[in-house]
Amino acid sequence: MEQKQRINIAIDGPAGAGKSTLAKLIAERLNILHLDTGAMYRAMALKALRSGIEPGDASRVLPLLPKTEITVKNIGGIQHTYLDGEDVSNLIRTPEASKGASDIGVIPEVRMKLAESQRKFAEEYDVIMDGREIGSFVLPDAPYKFYVTASADERARRRLLELQQKGIGLDKTLESMREEILARDHTDSTRAFAPLVQVQDAILIDTTELSVEEAVEAVLRHIKR
């Protein structure tokens, strides 16, 4: 039997560029699913932190892997992320989980485990997936690839606003947020295994000066074409 060709859209880029917001809206417009892969790294980091393990400590993280189950479910268009059956969707949005996710993402075995379930997801569903290495490593054959970015100042401003709206990290300043984001960019783009890169066949969307709607339109224009 001939297999149906899936719609797979890859969105990569640095923290705070607006990938998840964009991907969620595009998923709604195209009536496909959105998979926020960062949430899976965050859940893995939470598991390490709860076990008293530094997320970057590979020798202590590796034994956790076979004992960890990370799953996602789409409920009413919103992704819920589960760690060993517990809904941790809100708990993974703290600055500790952000840094932890970046640190744990350096470990190749973590990435292989999560990429495997992300690929299964893409085989099963039409999906727009956002992350750091979706177009280069998870779904290198995706027919649509975008690299979404924005200036560091703008990304810091957005992340700070997002945190404040959730009542988290209220002591943070714009400058400290900017430093945090730049440190994460550095970890994500210099790791040896599957780093953050703009692949050659990805379309660059710079959202610094764009409204959310303009950014959505910029992506959709390429998909319709």
Q: Which residues bind ligand DC (CB under 6 A)?
A: 15, 37-38, 41-42, 98, 101-102, 105, 131-133, 184, 188
Q: Give the shortest CB-93-to-ligand DC separation in angstroms.
A: 9
Q: Give the shortest CB-175-to-ligand DC separation in angstroms.
A: 19
Q: At what angle do helices 37-50 and 95-104 cross, to 10 degrees?
A: 100
Strand order in the sheet with 78-83: 70-75, 78-83, 86-87
Instruction: Select 7 or 19, whichever has its Cβ closest to ligand DC.
Output: 19
Instruction: Select 2 or 141, whichever has its Cβ closest to ligand DC.
Output: 141
Residue owning tokens 């379930």: 117
Query: What count of Cα atoms within 13 Å lies in the side-chain half-sphere of residue 133?
Result: 21
Residue type (1 letter), 181 = I
The phi and psi torsions of 76 (rounded to 5 degrees) equal: 55, 40
Instruction: Select 35 or 216, whichever has its Cβ closest to ligand DC.
Output: 35
Pairing assessment for the beta strands 203-206 and 144-149 based on DSSP bridges? parallel
Instruction: Select 164 or 221, whichever has its Cβ closest to ligand DC.
Output: 164
Q: Give the shortest CB-210-to-ligand DC separation in angstroms.
A: 19
Instruction: Select 2 or 94, whichever has its Cβ closest to ligand DC.
Output: 94
Q: Give the shortest CB-48-to-ligand DC separation in angstroms.
A: 13
Alpha-carbon distance of 33 to 196, in angstroms, equals 23
CB atoms < 10 A from the CB of 73, how many?
11
Q: Give the shortest CB-95-to-ligand DC separation in angstroms.
A: 11
Q: Give the shortest CB-225-to-ligand DC separation in angstroms.
A: 26
Q: At what angle do helices 212-224 and 19-30 cross, to 10 degrees?
A: 50
Residues with Cβ within 8 Å of 24's Cβ and at least 6 positions away in sequence, in order, are: 34, 36, 77
Instruction: Select 44 or 216, whichever has its Cβ closest to ligand DC.
Output: 44
* Structure tokens given for 53: 């393990």
